[in-house]
């Protein structure tokens, strides 16, 4: 009797975890790359003000 309770409990736990993983996988929202300045850094002061920092600008400094 005890063995079947543990087996049923484990089977239910595994099934619920699998269902939860599927739900998380399919209901994720895609993020927008570069939203709110997360992709590139904008220089705020100096000669290159308001330019996006890339290798060409950063090599000069």
The rounded distance, in Å, linking the Cα atoms of 45 and 13 is 56
Q: What is the pLDDT along the chain (61 residues), one digit of tens a residue?
A: 678 999 999 999 999 999 999 888 887 777 666 666 556 777 888 887 888 777 666 666 5
Residue spans of the domains in the chain: they are: 1-30, 31-61
Distances from the Cα of 5 to the Cα of 30, 36, 61, angstroms = 41, 52, 69
- Which pLDDT belongs to residue 49? 85
Q: Which residues, other chains included, contact 49 with Cβ-Cβ below 8 Å and sequence gap of 6+?
A: 43
- Which pLDDT belongs to residue 55? 63
- Which pLDDT belongs to residue 33? 63
The rounded distance, in Å, linking the Cα atoms of 6 and 11 is 8
- Which pLDDT belongs to residue 56? 65
């Amino acid at each position: 009797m005890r063995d079947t309770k543990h087996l049923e409990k484990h089977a239910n736990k595994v099934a619920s975890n699998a269902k939860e993983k599927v739900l998380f996988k399919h209901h994720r929202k895609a993020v927008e790359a570069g939203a709110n300045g997360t992709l590139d850094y904008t220089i705020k002061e100096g000669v290159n003000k308001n330019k996006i920092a890339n290798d060409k600008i950063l090599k000069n400094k």
